[in-house]
Structure formats: structure tokens, C-alpha cells
Amino acid sequence: MSSLWDIVKTVGTGIISTAVPGGPLIVAAINAALPDDQQLPEGATGAQAQDAISKIPAVDRAAVMDKQFEVQLTEIKESHDTVRTMLTADATMPQTTRPKIVLGMYRVVSFVIIVTISLWAYAVGMKDEVMVTAIMNGWPFVVGIIGPFLVVIRTYFGILKQEQQNKLDAAGGAVTAPSGIAGILSAVLKR
């Protein structure tokens, strides 16, 4: 058994409803003592709950803070330790395959661009109008060569950004919303 105050203090910046078994009941217990205009959202964090509890009139605050719940603080701490371990493991053993592939593609794109610009500069310097025209009209060919590489590079950084957001969400106890077609389907099916 743990008191409400101990639970919200232990959860901290984590979301109560996901960090604590029976978290929605804890949020409901706090909301029962709060005025309607100061109710906590479903995804309230422990810090938000602490702020809300401090706004409850002193007469009612003691009763709210002393409420006992069937939650073991060790379960909450284990959840935080699990997330911390995952983040530490990811920091010490970063991905290496995808970055190397993207680096190779970046080198190909850079090489093609440098060669194209160098040939164009040479043609301009030599005042070879035929070669300048050929290079200027050859842009679809160059885009055809480097286009797929650019798409892969752009996609990689989009995926990397999403992975980082998922890690931050997991560390904060938030539920990650799916992206792309999965996100559209989940949004439609929720309705």
C-alpha cells in the first residue's frame, strides 16, 4: 500500500496512467477533490498531479494525500529503471549499419554533383558552348542517378527523427502514435 503523495512523487515527470498500475483511478481520486475547471487530463504526469494537489484546499488536501492505493512503489521504480537501461544500452551500442549505408549514398551523391559542377565550370572556362548546353540539358540524367539516393537519405533522417521521438515518448511514459499508413488507420478506427 502506498499513499497518493508517495506515488505522484515517485512517478515525477512520467504519465501516471501508464507508469502506475491503476493510474486512471489515481487521477480520478485527485480530480474528485479538484474544482471542475482545474481537473487533470487523462495523461497527467506526476508533476502535474503534485501541482494540482497543492491547489486543493488545506482541509481536503490531507485526506487526498493520505489515500492508500494497492500500488507498490517498487513497480514504478522498476518501470523507470527499465526505460533507463534501454536508453543506456542504446547510447553505448548505437546502430552502425544504416548510418554507413547512408554515408555511402551521400558520398555517391556528392561525387556526382561535384563532377557535374566541375565539368560545367570547365566548359564555361573553355567557352565550349556545346558542352555547356549538353551539361545543362543533362540534368534529368543526373537527377535520375542521384534521385533514389536522395530519397533514401531523406527517408533515413525521417526514420531517425521518429526513432528519437519514440525514445523520448517512452522515457516520459507516453504512448507513441503510429506514423504513416498505420497512423491513418489507427486514427480512423478509433472513431
Question: C-alpha distances in angstroms, 131 versus 70, 97, 127, 128, 138?
Answer: 80, 40, 9, 6, 10
As beta bridge partners, residue 3 has: 68
Integer Cα distance of 18 and 173 in angstroms: 6
Question: C-alpha distances in angstroms, 108 versus 116, 118, 151?
Answer: 12, 15, 13
Q: Of all residues in the chain, what percent carry a pLDDT higher than 90?
A: 21
Residues of the chain short of pLDDT 70, as ranges, are 1-8, 11, 13, 17-22, 65-87, 89-91, 93-95, 170-191
Give pLDDT, residue 73: 46
Integer Cα distance of 71 and 127 in angstroms: 81
Q: Give the mean pLDDT of the chain.
A: 76
Integer Cα distance of 146 and 116 in angstroms: 12
